[in-house]
Amino acid sequence: MLAGLGAQNAPSRSALTREKPPLSVGFYPEGGFFHQAIQVELTAPGARIYFTTDGTTPKPHYSMKYGGPITVTKTTVVRAIAVRGGETSVVFGHTYFIDEPETTIPVVSVSITPGLLFDPDYGLFVKGPNAIDSLWKLPGANFWSRNEVPVNAEIFETDGACVYRSQSGFRLFGGMSRLFPQKSFTLVARKRYGQKRIKHEVFGKKGLKKFKFLVLRNSGSDYAKAHFRDAFMTTLIEDWNVDKQDFRPAHVYINGTYWGLYNIREKVNRYFIGDHHKEVDKDSIDLLEHYLVRKRGSRRAYKAFLNYLETHSLDNATNYAQVCSMMDVDNFMDYQIAQIYFDNRDAGGNIKYWRPQRPDGKWRWILYDTDWGFGLHDDQAWKYNTLEFHTKPDGPNWPNPPWSTFILRKLLENRAFRQAFVNRFADRLNTSLSPEAVTETLDRFYRLYAPEMPRHLARWRLSRSKWEEQVAIMREFGQKRPAYMRQFLRAKFDTGAERKLEIETTHGGYVRLNQNLRVEGHFEGTYFQNMPVEVEAVPALGYRFAGWEGIFTGNNASRLVLALHRKTYRLKAVFEKFEDPLAGQI
């Protein structure tokens, strides 16, 4: 037969053996948002279609066979498969939102066989027959499962566009928050399900462009309270040297039923580290949590690090320098300052740390699960001396066991670290953690969540007044915490009295304060008498540093260390235009 076609017209052998495209099901219209009932048409040329509308995974012969348009009168997930001969397609799913309330945040839809979540014997969302009711943690309950099951997942942006639609993995997420009726869960993109990455800027232009894991979090311990504590706290420190999860709120639907307001978060694992540290191979890291619990790689380097700390005094500068080569001290400092300021008394149980597996690899700490902070269980938590709590040498097994405070206690043996720690803390209290900055961020969160909360509160029968009360507790914490933190710092480190520092810059440069803050324009802050601060004038391109005003230095050195003997210091860095005499001659 081929010979009769002629050489020019005969298909190549590769064309003849090329695989047919995989079976698929077309949906018209595609899933999305509609104001009234619609009819949905399914297409799969040359194949039979089987579908469901209750979330059940469709199966040949057992599910409804498609014979014409499907009328959808309420929010519904249509799941469908195509069957041709002995071939069956993957499961496709589209969600049709009918007359749902307007929203300014994303919407996530999950379709899953209902029994996998709600069957009284094996459903992941229920207690099940094996839970031990006499213990409050309900060990043996189904919701402690770590099983992963396939679902159809969709993510819709604020303009209604579907930016991700694929079969995905679904597993429960979290610790004690699994006891709450609204469960946290993780979506996993895997090639065996469909798309191997969620390719969308879920967290905006500044965030990552693709994800393997996304966590839909019920706000952890903050469930039924403010519902955004952890996200709020990590936002306060977004420009610090700390690894932390991005966030975005979203409404979630399961099988077409509204399931409440969740916080989309990144999942902390090797992918998270590799994606945020492009210079690091995600498969060549040591990742540990709690006390030497290995998640990836080896414990060997961390044990050696702890052993060095245990056997060497860090009052010795050489020993301290060796420790600095083993850990990112600035990262650890920022991490501890955040936990202490937040009054996160659950931090001792939620510690993750990692290093690249290479000779110069330094340990870094990841900030996560800070829900206990900002007055979660104490409406006057701003008074609590969490600095003492996080440096206690003999705390109980929980919440602050000795191993969890050990590294900070050892580092504080070193005078240079103590001074840097106090000044870094003061830097943060003057900027990111100032009452003004915290209030502005809290107001922004309130404006984002307030219009979306009524539906969530109604869904889970929660109180609006309690929500408002929790936000008020956070607001008071932000207003009062800095003054108390300065008291705690003075008491522990003999810092002397508080001192006011004002810095001004002219056009053409900036001042680097304590090798940490960048000051341009005008800055006012509170520091301490016995803790000298460092200022360095840095000219912009085309300018040079002309000198300081407001303080006599005897020279025009751009870098100064100021002993704060007076109550108030005012200094101005003056920059002037400058053209190198050799410019244009090379």
pLDDT score for 484: 98
Report the chain's terminal Cα–Cα distance, integer Å.
76
pLDDT score for 396: 87
19-100 against 498-577: fold identical: yes
Residue count (the chain): 586
Residue spans of the domains in the chain: they are 19-100, 284-493, 498-577
Comparing CA positions, the residue from 360, 349, 352 lying closest to residue 335 is 352
Helix (H) or strand (E) run with residue 416 in it = helix 415-430
CA distance 106 to 452: 11
Q: Is the separation of the CB atoms in 101 and 122 below 8 Å?
A: no
**Residue ranges in the chain whose pLDDT is less than 50:** 1-11, 13-17
Residues 6+ apart with CB under 8 A from 538: 509, 510, 511, 512, 545, 558
pLDDT score for 2: 32
CATH superfamily of 19-100: Immunoglobulins (2.60.40.10)
- Give how far Cα 123 sits from Cα of 174, 188, 259, 564, Å: 17, 19, 16, 64
Count of CB atoms situated within 10 Å of the CB of 26: 14
CA distance 412 to 286: 26
- Give how far Cα 356 sits from Cα of 277, 287, 327, 362, 487, Å: 10, 9, 11, 7, 38
pLDDT score for 583: 61
Residues 6+ apart with CB under 8 A from 180: 218, 223, 224
Model-wide pTM > 0.85: yes
Cβ neighbourhood burial of 366 (10 Å; 0-12, 13-18, 19+): buried
pLDDT score for 554: 67
pLDDT score for 579: 81
- Give the DSSP letter string of 346-357: TGGG--EEEEES
Q: Which CATH architecture has domain 498-577?
A: Sandwich (2.60)
Which tokens belong to 95? 């969600």
Cβ neighbourhood burial of 84 (10 Å; 0-12, 13-18, 19+): middle
pLDDT score for 351: 94
pLDDT score for 18: 56
Residue with tokens 């979630």: 252
Q: Residue type for 126, please? A: V
Helix (H) or strand (E) run with residue 429 in it = helix 415-430
CA distance 168 to 148: 10
Comparing CA positions, the residue from 46, 21, 32, 171 lying closest to residue 95 is 32
pLDDT score for 348: 78
pLDDT score for 512: 98
